[in-house]
């Protein structure tokens, strides 16, 4: 796995030349130049394809003010321009997403919205309720969010009672537990994949406040949390 370097406006000049970051002396100048280009303080420099593959192979992943920078290049007849652009993905951790959003999203409204959505997702609360027009606007400005290395999808669907926001993991077998309304005398059953590869029909219940467990529908036995790969909804035919 590639090393990650996190720079900010305040520390990047000193940090690039810190020997402990593990970049050899010649490459530090290149990295400084690429960062100054990204900040608009230098013009793009001429590089070769060979140098691009060297950078891609040997340079660490760079985060600047919390946003990941990714390498792009423009091909010219005899050379290429290499430059960093801000990744459209927002890499967040469930433990520190609030601080990370403060570092990366300066737009107050978007910052507050993302905190609300992620908090609702992690706490299994219903997503915040917005008008359809607002949801359309949000879908255009929201970045691709990677939460704990899992890509999230933002969408919304129109229903009889208005529009409903959806914020969920993209992968088929999802982590944790879904949100579902507790309806008297009705168990909500989901498909749960266990580490042996089998898929079981299960429901979940809290034993203690906030301590949820999966149970098999056929025998009401609790599943060992360590054996669970993920859950998905049962699609009705």
Partner 1 sequence: MKKIILNSQDWLDEVSTLALDDCDKRCLEKMVECFLNRCHPPNFNYATMTRLEKILPQIYIDGEFMRFSVSTKDVRHCSMTFEQAKEWKDGFPVSMVWDGEYVYYLLKGSDGGVFMGFFCADSPGVFHWYSKDTKKQIPSDKIVGWKEIKEQ
For 75, the enclosing helix (H) or strand (E) is strand 67-75
Distance, in Å, from the CA atom of 64 to the CA atom of 9, rounded to the nearest integer, reads 8
What's the min distance (Å) between Cβ of 204 and partner 1? 8
Q: Say which DSSP state 68 is in.
A: E
State the alpha helices, DSSP H only, in 18-166. 25-38, 49-58, 97-104, 108-122, 132-141
114 vs 165: CA distance, rounded Å: 13
6 closest CA partner among 96, 76, 119, 128: 96
The pairing of beta strand 4-7 with beta strand 61-64: parallel
Q: Which is nearer to partner 1, 58 or 94 (CB)?
A: 94
Which parts of this chain interact with partner 1 (CB under 8 A)?
Answer: 94-95, 98-99, 102, 115, 119, 121-125, 148, 175-179, 182, 184-185, 205-212
Q: Are the CB atoms for 144 and 89 separated by under 8 Å?
A: yes
CB of 45 to partner 1, least distance (A): 40
CB atoms within 10 A of CB 133: 9
Residue 6 or 115: which CB sits closer to partner 1?
Answer: 115
Closer CB to partner 1, residue 115 or residue 232?
Answer: 115
Nearest to 8 by CA among 133, 79, 100: 100
CB of 103 to partner 1, least distance (A): 12
Nearer Cβ to partner 1 (74/201): 201
Q: Among residues 29 and 102, whose Cβ is nearest to partner 1?
A: 102
What is the smallest separation between the CB atom of 148 and partner 1, expressed in angstroms?
A: 7
Closer to partner 1 at the Cβ: 110 or 122?
A: 122
Smallest distance from the beta carbon of 107 to partner 1, in angstroms?
Answer: 16
Q: What is the Cα–Cα distance from 1 to 124, expressed in whole angstroms?
A: 32
Give whichever of 6 and 44 is closer to partner 1, judged by the CB atom.
Answer: 6
- At residue 7, the 3 state secondary structure works out as strand
Residues 92, 147 contacting (CB under 8 angstroms): yes
Q: How far is the CB of 65 from partner 1 (least distance, A)?
A: 18
Smallest separation, CB 173 to partner 1 (Å): 12
């Amino acid at each position: 796995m590639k090393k990650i370097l996190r720079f900010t406006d305040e520390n990047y000049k000193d940090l690039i030349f810190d020997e402990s970051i593990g970049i050899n002396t010649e490459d530090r100048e290149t990295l400084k130049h690429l960062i100054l280009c990204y900040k608009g303080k230098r013009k793009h420099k001429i590089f070769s394809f060979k140098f691009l593959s060297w950078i891609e192979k040997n340079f660490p992943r760079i985060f600047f003010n919390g946003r990941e920078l990714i390498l792009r290049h423009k091909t010219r007849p005899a050379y290429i321009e290499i430059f960093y652009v801000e990744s459209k993905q927002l890499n967040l951790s469930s433990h520190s997403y609030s601080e990370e959003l403060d570092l990366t999203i300066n737009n107050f409204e978007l910052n507050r919205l993302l905190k609300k959505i992620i908090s609702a997702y992690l706490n299994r609360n219903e997503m915040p309720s917005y008008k359809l027009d607002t949801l359309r606007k949000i879908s255009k400005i929201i970045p691709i969010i990677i939460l704990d290395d899992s890509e999230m999808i933002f969408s919304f669907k129109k229903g009889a009672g208005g529009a409903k926001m959806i914020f969920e993991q993209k992968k088929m077998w999802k982590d944790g537990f879904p949100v579902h309304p507790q309806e008297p005398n009705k168990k909500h059953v989901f498909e749960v994949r266990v580490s042996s590869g089998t898929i079981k029909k299960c429901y979940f219940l809290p034993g203690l406040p906030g301590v949820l467990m999966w149970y098999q529908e056929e025998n009401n036995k609790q599943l060992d949390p360590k054996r669970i790969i993920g859950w998905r909804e049962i699609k009705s035919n």
